[in-house]
């Protein structure tokens, strides 16, 4: 069996520092729940870069939770918690309150019901005025922002027709129906966006 502590993905290594620069002014204190944490590379980097925040990683995949747990143990950061086994699509999460939420690269590799569940869950656990930050590729006004994103969208739909790059306009409607509003749209490297949502 391979040493799962060594499992790393290239995308988080590339984007963790640009995302941290977005998060720094948004998350100053309290508990931030990260959804779909994957290998935990983001979690370790963000906890180290946001010492005033308690960072709570989570994932729906038990094997990835093992990877995260080992990475958390190796990092030994006082503000980084062991992972929660959490399925965003579940109507009940194993945490009932958070001061902020973060989610990267989930919405395009899941069914649209997961998008709906993400905003519904955010509405349940966040206090009014608290923030959710989502990161990834998005369409705007029905159009892809780059040829590479259009190609990526086609590749995703070839794997599963229910996957695909979501449109910001559709997300605004979905979020609004669940009590969140789009506060800011931040351009990121590699034709990605960080979307900042606020609980009304």
Reported as a single tens digit per residue, the pLDDT across 34-67 is: 999 999 999 999 999 999 999 999 999 999 999 9
Distance CA 64, CA 39 (A): 6
State how far Cα 144 lies from the chain centre.
21
Task: Judge contact between 108 and 156, C-beta under 8 A.
Answer: yes
* pLDDT at 4 exceeding the cut of 80: no
* pLDDT at 2 exceeding the cut of 80: no
Query: Quick one: which of 155, 193, 147 has its CA closest to 171?
Result: 193
CA dihedral of 142, 34, 112, 8, whole degrees rounded to 10: 90
Q: How confident is the model at residue 5 (pLDDT cuts 50, 70, 90)?
A: low
Instruction: Please give the pLDDT value at position 1.
Output: 37
Distance CA 53, CA 71 (A): 18
Reported as a single tens digit per residue, the pLDDT across 118-141 is: 999 999 999 999 999 999 999 999
Instruction: Please give the pLDDT value at position 153.
Output: 81
* pLDDT at 3 exceeding the cut of 90: no
Reported as a single tens digit per residue, the pLDDT across 94-121 is: 999 999 999 999 999 999 999 999 999 9
What are the chain's domains? 4-199 (3.40.50.150)
């Amino acid at each position: 069996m391979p040493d799962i502590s060594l499992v790393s993905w290239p995308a988080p290594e590339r984007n963790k520092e640009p995302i941290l620069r977005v998060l720094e002014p948004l998350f100053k204190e309290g508990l931030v729940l990260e959804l779909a944490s994957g290998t935990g590379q983001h979690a370790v980097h963000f906890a180290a870069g946001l010492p005033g925040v308690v960072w709570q990683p989570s994932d729906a995949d038990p094997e990835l939770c093992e990877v995260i747990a080992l990475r958390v143990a190796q990092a030994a950061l006082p503000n980084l918690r062991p992972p929660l086994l959490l399925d965003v699509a579940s109507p009940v999460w194993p945490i009932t309150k958070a001061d902020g939420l973060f989610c990267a690269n989930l919405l395009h590799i899941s069914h649209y019901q997961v998008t709906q569940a993400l905003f519904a869950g955010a509405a349940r656990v966040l206090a009014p005025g608290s923030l959710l930050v989502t990161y990834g590729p998005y369409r705007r006004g029905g159009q892809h922002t780059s040829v590479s994103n259009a190609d990526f969208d086609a590749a995703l739909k070839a794997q599963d027709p229910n996957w695909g790059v979501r449109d910001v306009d559709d997300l605004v409607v979905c979020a609004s129906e669940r009590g969140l509003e789009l506060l800011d749209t931040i351009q990121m490297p590699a034709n990605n966006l960080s979307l900042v949502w606020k609980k009304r």
